[in-house]
């Protein structure tokens, strides 16, 4: 009694927290800054994210989640503790139940790591469910009926592709190609082609500002980029175009297209017919990159729709699960 159950989208790039009865109350980057010598936590979330690539040697800005799973258990626990504390949910009289989503190909060891990290924050009980299913719920899909719903959830660390029917996953694929991969592709492209070294944060800014995977020649955009010239070692500035970003992201996006084709090939003819009629829903921050919906539609010959709120679908889906715990697999 008097507890506030919470849902957590434990993302590689951002953590979103949903509180039952209140909605999404927190959305912060999954970053922690610590003092390398004393291990003291200096900043968490937004403040720590601003430090990426800008810290002195004794300060480390760490992203403890990589490819959708916990890479640093201790730092993840610090991150969860801090953000849950920020929501004031711990001030309730009883411990909350927590629903957390994770990639569809997660191992039992990784599941246990996530559960333990959440339990140490003071949870009464921790439930896990897989990301594409939770994203589908948050996007407004009715997955309870005997007809197919297909979702491609492109997060920071993983892209989860799934066909759902009768409340569960029929066929799915999880790929470690997503928003972080796009950032890295841009960073490498600029380094190799322009001999300019940029940081992760700059690569992310480029992706968000002029990133495109299907450029219309009439709408080609340009952006000035600053970094360190690899030839002279001095600061320098170049101009890059959205067409160049399309080239930089080509291989990674083609792998996502290929993964989607694999899932469709593994889908029964009856469910495939449903997908042709209903189309595929894109969720996650990666779905917002310009032209991705048009490219997928061209390659797959299936209607593609971007969810109304792609960045918050998973968090909103955890809220639906809190009201319908029977939908969680294994309960």
- C-alpha to C-alpha distance for 213 and 307, rounded to whole angstroms: 18
pLDDT of residue 38: 86
| 49 and 128 share one domain | yes
Instruction: Assess contact for 248 and 225: CB atoms under 8 A.
Output: no
Evaluate whether 301 touches 261 at the Cβ level (below 8 Å).
no
Instruction: Answer whether residue 1 is part of any domain.
Output: no
SS (H, E, C) 117-177: HHHCCCCCEEEEEEHHHHHHHHCCCCCCCCCCEEEEEECCCCEEEEEEECCEEEEEEEECC
Kindly tell me the sign of the dihedral angle through the C-alpha atoms of 321, 144, 104, 26. Answer: negative
The region that residue 66 occupies, defined by phi over 0 for left and psi between -120 and 50 for alpha, beta otherwise, is beta
**Whether residue 167 is found in the same domain as residue 263:** yes
User: Are the C-beta atoms of 296 and 281 separated by less than 8 Å?
Assistant: no
Q: How many domains does the chain have?
A: 3
Out of 232, 248, 264, a domain closes at 248
pLDDT at 300: 95
Is 169 within a domain? yes
pLDDT at residue number 68: 73
Q: What is the pLDDT of residue 3?
A: 59
Task: Give the pLDDT confidence score for residue 1 in this predicted structure.
Answer: 41
CATH of the domain at 266: 3.30.420.40
Residue 117: what pLDDT?
82
Is residue 76 situated within a structural domain? Answer: yes
Check whether residue 127 and residue 70 sit in a common domain. yes
Query: Can you give the length of the chain in residues?
Result: 331
pLDDT tens for the chain, 331 residues long, are 445 789 999 888 899 999 988 999 999 999 999 988 888 889 999 998 888 888 788 888 888 888 777 888 888 888 888 888 888 765 555 688 899 988 777 788 888 888 888 888 888 889 999 899 999 999 999 998 999 999 999 999 999 999 999 988 999 999 999 999 999 999 999 999 999 999 989 999 999 999 999 987 567 899 999 999 999 999 999 999 999 999 999 999 999 999 999 999 999 999 999 999 999 999 999 999 999 999 999 999 999 999 999 999 999 999 999 888 777 765 4
For the chain, give the mean pLDDT. Answer: 90
How many Cβ atoms are within 10 Å of 224's Cβ, its own excluded?
8
Give the integer Cα–Cα distance in Å for 210 and 189. 15
Is residue 164 in a domain? Answer: yes
- Residues 10 and 120: their CA atoms lie apart, in Å, by 15
Domain that holds residue 165: 135-176+253-306
């Amino acid at each position: 009694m008097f507890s506030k159950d919470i849902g957590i989208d434990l993302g590689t790039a951002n953590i979103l927290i949903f509180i039952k009865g209140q909605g999404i109350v927190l959305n912060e980057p999954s970053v922690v800054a610590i003092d390398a010598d004393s291990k003291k936590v200096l900043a968490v979330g937004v403040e720590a994210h601003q430090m990426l690539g800008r810290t002195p040697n004794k300060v480390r800005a760490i992203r403890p989640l990589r490819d959708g799973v916990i890479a640093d258990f201790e730092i993840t626990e610090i991150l969860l503790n801090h953000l849950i504390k920020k929501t004031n949910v711990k001030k309730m009289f009883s411990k909350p139940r927590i629903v957390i989503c994770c990639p569809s190909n997660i191992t039992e060891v990784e599941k246990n790591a996530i559960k333990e990290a959440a339990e140490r924050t003071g949870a009464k009980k921790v439930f896990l469910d897989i990301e594409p299913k939770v994203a589908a719920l948050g996007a407004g899909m009715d997955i309870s009926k005997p007809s197919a719903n297909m979702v491609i959830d492109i997060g920071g660390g993983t892209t989860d592709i799934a066909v759902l029917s009768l409340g569960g996953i029929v066929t799915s694929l999880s790929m470690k190609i997503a928003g972080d991969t796009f950032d890295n592709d841009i960073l490498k492209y600029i380094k190799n082609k322009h001999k300019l070294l940029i940081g992760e944060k700059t690569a992310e800014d480029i992706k968000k500002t002029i990133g495109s995977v299907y450029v219309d020649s009439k709408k080609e955009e340009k952006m000035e980029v600053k970094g360190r010239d690899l030839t002279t070692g001095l600061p320098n500035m170049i101009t890059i175009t959205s067409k160049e970003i399309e080239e930089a992201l080509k291989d990674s996006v083609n792998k996502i297209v290929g993964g989607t084709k694999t899932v469709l090939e593994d889908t029964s003819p009856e469910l495939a017919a449903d997908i042709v009629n209903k189309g595929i829903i894109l969720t996650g921050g990666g779905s917002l990159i310009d032209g991705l919906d048009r490219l997928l539609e061209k390659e797959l010959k299936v209607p593609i729709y971007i969810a109304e709120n792609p960045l918050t679908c998973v968090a909103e889906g955890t809220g639906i699960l809190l009201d319908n715990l029977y939908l969680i697999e294994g309960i």
